[in-house]
Structure 1
Amino acid sequence: MTIPTRAVATTALLLLWPALFNGAPLIFSDTLDFPAMMLDPAGRPIRALGYGAFAGLPALLTGSFWPVVVAQALLTAWATHAAIAATLPALPPRLHVLAGVAIAALTSAGWAASYAMPDALTAPGLLALFLVLAGARGVRLAVAAALVALAAASHVTHVLILFAAIGAVAALGLAPWRQALLAAALTLAGAGVVIGANRLLSGHAEYVRGGEVFLAARLAGDGLLQRELAARCPDPALPLLCAALPVMQRDADEFLWEGNSPLRPGGDFFAASAEMRIANAATMAGFWPDWIAASLARAARQVLAVRAGDGLERELMRIFAPRLAPLLGKDAARIALASRQLQEELAEHPVTLVPVPAALLGLALAPLLLVILRQRRAWPAYRPALLLLAVVLAGYLANALAIGFGGSVHPRYAARIVWLLPLAAGAALAAHRFGGMTGGLRTATDPL
């Protein structure tokens, strides 16, 4: 079984269509943090160092995010066709190409790959995890292992998603324990490298800085932090939070990012960190049923928030595009200022709706196929397809839960991973309908 090189190259090129349509790599406000953190490696970043090294260093060296999105497209294309080959080893190369065209044209995969954000590695990392769990060997295992570790080093939600998928596969008995342990070790290694690097560079053994601030924002967005403070203020242990209570925002994003936030005296994002640790613990202890109910409701909304293009608002580009010049040079700023992101509301363009039908179809079919195939007496014949379905479904649900409990609902969080659902469902349908493409009965320990 081989991965058709032509299919990978074709898919990678097609995945870049949103960036080409935009006239520049897609960027978000957070994008600028990654090259910036590489200029100050001894600082305590609120973003993960893994993606900083992956994206920030090439951008600084070349003065452009184009090398970053090209690398992301190649990794996405490779992981996609490697997963298809593992599930359907007898699939002809021409059908690999057709599958890649469909994924690039009809799903949100290209939007994620063209975005200079850690979200671009969410789905490839999960596909790489599938390859490790399926028993990949040799070069394929080495690339998949590196991709799993890179994903784990690039965003904390990736760590949660990867472990959720490992747990689901272990519970369903779809992969040998050796593969599950290896996958867990790779995930821990990726996160551990970030923690170790931060310890070495700044003296603080942490994945990122500011977890208490983001949790406080989530609790304030639900109104729970305000209820806790109202019951205990004035409190000499919480002077900043008590002073901010009368005007504390009920929107988590505004709580974090509004420049006039009362929680940022003197512009210090971390000024109330020590107080937040105290208040967060007390709030969750006192209002945990409300916190869980609100979080689960957000997770349910996140599951269905599948539109592409979120985060590409024109106003954000007006603010952040000029800031590219001191980081990457005048050419990078000029290209960004001439992009479609700044000239129109790309987030509202009709093309952002194209991936929605495939996403919803995959969301409906994937769990149904997992149940149907798993209940068949000959289910071991479909083990790779079942494994892919389990990894993708568990990862997608864990993604929604991570956002529900720790953030705000945004379509970009679903778009980065939802395209795996139609991919997994399509592969499972093909394995079930055209058994010859599976190359006969296989087990999870067969070499890939």
Structure 2
Amino acid sequence: MSTALHRPAPAAARPAHRDPHVLRWLGAYTASMVGDSVYYLALSWAAVQAGTPTQAGLVMTASAVPRALLMLGGGVIADRFGPRRIVIGSDAVRCAAVLAVAALLFLTSPGLWPLALLALVFGAVDAVFVPAVGALPARVASHDQLARVQGMRGLAIRFASVVGAPLGGLGVAVGGAAAAFGLAGLLIAVSVPLLVSVRMRELPADDRAGASGGTARRDLVVGLRYIRRHRVLAPLMLAIALGDLGFVAPLNVGLTLLADERGWGASGMGWVLAGFGVGAGAASLLLTVRGRLPHAGQVAGWSILAGSLAIGALAYAPTVAAAVGTALLVGLFAGLSGAMCGALLQTRADPAYLGRVTAVASLVSLGLTPLSMPLSAAAIGAWGTGPVFVVSAAVCGLGGVVTLGVPALRRAQLPR
């Protein structure tokens, strides 16, 4: 394994938040994420208006199938052709597809078929976009700044989640789904010139060799073997998978059912989600300001365990205020552990493999974890929210046990 990019950065290297290339990357990423938020709101609105609730649900989930099936191949493509080229191309395709549907909706009422086709295209493009986005920071920022970049990226995600929905709603209110789709396309388009202007760091020759070793199938096998044999990445992947499997269902379908069961209503659920967002944003802000936390492996493991306890406690919060405070802790610990795990992925993986490494990590979150949501909903219907939240918390906590139980991962540090 090459260690060429694991040396400490030069003393004169700029902090990430003062590097114009990192800031341009961050602007591009933020614009793209806000555009995504507007797109999903526009898609759900247009699907509900054009079909039955069942049909709208099928349209909304149509992206998941190609994304899950193609994600590992997308990681190979990102490593072969370079992450910036893939992100620029992906954003260009997504922009064109969204604007085409916006024009179609403006001119006619075509029904559900263009929406379903758009969702499928988005899912297929996401399969190469997501691994490339994950591999890009290591080619933009110096190695010792990658933890700070993860914090900045987390802030961008929080900003997009807060701003995207109101913008999408404003677009729908002003000009219907066509206007909202048009706004989403324009926001995604903003990312392209910004990314074109970002300077990439070149890979050393021995790292470039890992980016293309023959056929795509062979590259995929080599990448999976690289992860399996890595002393830190292999257990880290397992910890991420367990953490996501135990976290996603309670904070999505579980929270909706909990709010309905307790009579909190939509406003109460909104406050709980706001508490989670504040906690996650605080964790991202901490990393952005500090740039590095010592004992990254231990911080990740203990944060996963603490977050799992908060998830279990959420189902037993007696009031909305208590639930908001508990959700804030869930967001804080989940944001901290997620940023630590992401930074360890970025710094421990050789850059030539980062597309494939990100693809494997993302496959769990975006491909497999959503499958737990209908199972969790059925389990809550059978046994109630409390037991299901506790089981989910136990699964999430196993991720912390793995992190703290594997010496190489527990002792993992971020570069200075």
**TM-score under structure 2 normalisation?**
0.26
Question: Which structure's residues are more often helix, by fraction?
Answer: 2
Higher relative contact order (CA 8 A, sep 6+): 2
